[in-house]
Structure 1
Amino acid sequence: MINKISFVIPVYNEEENIKPLYSEITAVAKKLGYDYEIMFVDDASNDNSFKLIKELSSQDSHVKYVSFAVNCGQSAALYAGFQNSSGDVIITMDADLQNDPNDILEMIKYYPEYDVVNGWRYNRQDSLSKKIGSKIGNFVRNLLTKETIKDTGCALKILRGDMVRRIKMFKGLHRFIPTLMRLEGAKVIEVKVNHRPRIYGQSKYTNLRRAIEGFYDLIVVRWMIKRFLKIKVKESNV
């Protein structure tokens, strides 16, 4: 049963996209029919992103925000959004308008049977080099973590709130949310979603930076999987 949905949106220099994204999310939220909030987490943007977010919050009580004093990265922004949101269901997406909020109407059908509904950008609107880099990255990640996720980088996800809030997030680990959720006992499914070309703003990552950081993070997550405590109590009187 869903009581409230929290949309958690990390933001870094996306001033042209804030208002269109807000309008799209609001339209979808009204179709869903649940109580909701839109949590923008501004990662110390140096454009007008935060100003626009504050304007929206003054006009609509559904809009909440957290603004960082210094740039901390996407993992920190998501973690802050998780911890400050109040929904029992959390929906994440990027602020660049490449994710289509309308896909949520189909994805939500798989919840609560699945604790994680992960978007799969099966027709990515990115450069060839980015697509190739992503395929290699997903292959290596799945090989070392024994996962089957085709698109770990898709930001559009539906997550069980109480479960994702238990995860201690570290820098870079947002790419492994389905895997970290599985460690908590989550059932995970991937659903095909749209992917739109970026119109405004610039990508925050290069293939080289993503590869270097991703491999470093992968080693950490593999260690976490190997060392995760799986306790089975035989008997207790407490």
Structure 2
Amino acid sequence: MSNAEKFSVVLPVYNEQDNLQSLFAEIRAAADSTGRPWEAVFVDDCSTDRSLAIIRELAEQHSEVRYVAFAENRGQSAAFCAGFDAVESDIVVTMDADLQNDPSDIPDMLAAFGNECEMVIGWRARRRDTFIKRISSRIANKIRDSIVDDGVHDTGCSLKVMRTDLLRRIPRFKNMHRYFPILMKMEGARIHEVKVNHRQRGAGVSKYGTLDRALAGIWDLIGVKWLITRHIGYTVKEKK
């Protein structure tokens, strides 16, 4: 990857008004340190607080900021997809807007991205979640690995670097963001993991309950397993 190649940071947002200013300041410091052109694409998932107003202010004040605002709440996966469609670069960095992902990890992840991989995944070796969330994640990961083994330590970390063209080709469905590694692998992506910092949430509360995620995850696993077994892949030897 060229050091001058532009990258886009895609951030789904739902009721994160108290985190956005600090988050963007950290993203800007990390992105500027790379010496590469960049943009931040916020996708507001029909927030009911002042999130969209703050995003508009950031866009007016900083040329690097662009945004998409949904007319209705469509969920995190839809927000990611809207961001992928809106970016103006060949490299996408995804992260949450709750300050748990550390933007200072972005330069190292970009450095690992390039000729030998098409996807870099953050690995939260030291989680800062609640005890209940950590235990439920471990159980969910064991079940997922037994059905859909993507070969990575931490599929749930939102901090990832991916090729835009591959992201635009993967199947789209609710909760697809939890399966980016296996979906990208189906498109031929090679994956590299980088240990990253994980922080306690900034302001606000988590938008997704543990039970809700568990119930939805059962259907997701069935659907993703079906996609894997029915996936069509081929390599062209010759054409005219």
Could you tell me the TM-score, scaled by structure 2's length? 0.95
Amino acid at match of 1:108: L
- Give the Cα separation in 2 of the matches to 1:105 and 1:48: 30
Amino acid at match of 1:229: I
1:142–1:149: 8 Å Cα contact kept in structure 2? no
Where does the alignment leave 5 or more consecutive residues of structure 1 unmatched?
none
Report the counterpart of residue 212 of structure 1 in structure 2: 215
Alignment root-mean-square deviation, CA:
1.2
**Residues 32 and 215 (structure 1), Cα distance of their counterparts in 2 relative to 1, 3 Å cut:** same
1:57–1:63: 8 Å Cα contact kept in structure 2? yes
Where does the alignment leave 5 or more consecutive residues of structure 2 unmatched?
none
Q: Over residues 71-113 of structure 1, what are the superposed CA-to-partner deviations in whole Å (9 max), with x where a residue is unaligned?
A: 0000000000001101111000000000001111222221112
CA shift, 1:147, in A, is 2.0
Could you tell me the TM-score, scaled by structure 1's length? 0.96
Report the counterpart of residue 230 of structure 1 in structure 2: 233
| Structural mapping, 1:111-130, within 5 Å | 111-112=113-114, 113-130=116-133
CA shift, 1:132, in A, is 0.7
Amino acid at match of 1:51: A
- Give the Cα separation in 2 of the matches to 1:47 and 1:11: 11
CA shift, 1:146, in A, is 2.4
Q: What percentage of aligned pairs have identical amino acids?
A: 49
- Give the Cα separation in 1 of the matches to 2:239 and 2:214: 49
**Stretch deviating more after TM superposition (138-147 or 219-228):** 138-147
Amino acid at match of 2:28: T
**Stretch deviating more after TM superposition (211-220 or 105-114):** 105-114
| Structural mapping, 1:151-190, within 5 Å | 151-190=154-193
Report the counterpart of residue 38 of structure 1 in structure 2: 40
- Give the Cα separation in 2 of the matches to 1:230 and 1:89: 23
**Stretch deviating more after TM superposition (210-219 or 225-234):** 225-234
CA shift, 1:230, in A, is 2.4
**Residues 23 and 233 (structure 1), Cα distance of their counterparts in 2 relative to 1, 3 Å cut:** closer
Report the counterpart of residue 108 of structure 2 in structure 1: 106
1:141–1:147: 8 Å Cα contact kept in structure 2? no
- Give the Cα separation in 2 of the matches to 1:237 and 1:185: 20
Match among 141, 162, 185 for residue 144 of structure 2: 141
Whether 2:86 is the aligned partner of 1:84: answer yes
Report the counterpart of residue 16 of structure 1 in structure 2: 18
- Give the Cα separation in 2 of the matches to 1:58 and 1:230: 44
| Structural mapping, 1:65-76, within 5 Å | 65-76=67-78
**Residues 209 and 114 (structure 1), Cα distance of their counterparts in 2 relative to 1, 3 Å cut:** same
**Residues 25 and 233 (structure 1), Cα distance of their counterparts in 2 relative to 1, 3 Å cut:** closer
- Give the Cα separation in 2 of the matches to 1:101 and 1:215: 32
2:31–2:38: 8 Å Cα contact kept in structure 1? yes
- Give the Cα separation in 1 of the matches to 2:20 and 2:233: 42
- Give the Cα separation in 2 of the matches to 1:47 and 1:136: 34
- Give the Cα separation in 2 of the matches to 1:230 and 1:7: 29
**Residues 175 and 15 (structure 1), Cα distance of their counterparts in 2 relative to 1, 3 Å cut:** same
**Residues 57 and 220 (structure 1), Cα distance of their counterparts in 2 relative to 1, 3 Å cut:** same
1:41–1:80: 8 Å Cα contact kept in structure 2? yes
After TM superposition, what 4+ stretches of structure 1 lie above 6 angstroms from structure 2? none
1:40–1:66: 8 Å Cα contact kept in structure 2? yes
Match among 132, 135, 160 for residue 132 of structure 1: 135
Whether 2:201 is the aligned partner of 1:198: answer yes
